[in-house]
Amino acid sequence: MFTITEYTVEQIKDPYKIIEGERYEFLLDLEVDEEDELYQEEGVRLRVVYAKEGDNARIAKYEFLIAASGKYLDMEMEEDEEQAVFAFCKEALVELISE
């Protein structure tokens, strides 16, 4: 498991309507335990494309990146991690919209 330490969020313009509704890109800086297979000395980021259509929302895509270089890491989230990231993005978006 990892901990989200910082994040940025940006709405993505989708002129081709590939994903219905609104799309947001989250860049999450992660703190990962040294014993975890995801651990990278240079740090780890998680890029999440969060799609929201009305009351429905989902993680449309995600990818782990080495923070220092931006190189892709071929890893997948476990189910509990994906649920935690979804909840984090949903809450962060509610805060952003209510500002």
Asked if pLDDT for residue 97 goes beyond 80, the answer is no
Domain boundaries, the chain: 2-98
Half-sphere exposure at residue 64, Cβ-oriented, CA atoms within 13 angstroms: 22
Give the model's pLDDT for residue 19.
Answer: 67
**Digit-coded pLDDT (tens) for 12-28:** 987 777 767 899 999 99
Question: How large is the average pLDDT for residues 73-90?
Answer: 96
Q: Report residue 98: phi and psi, to 5°.
A: -80, -5
Q: What is the pTM of this model?
A: 0.91
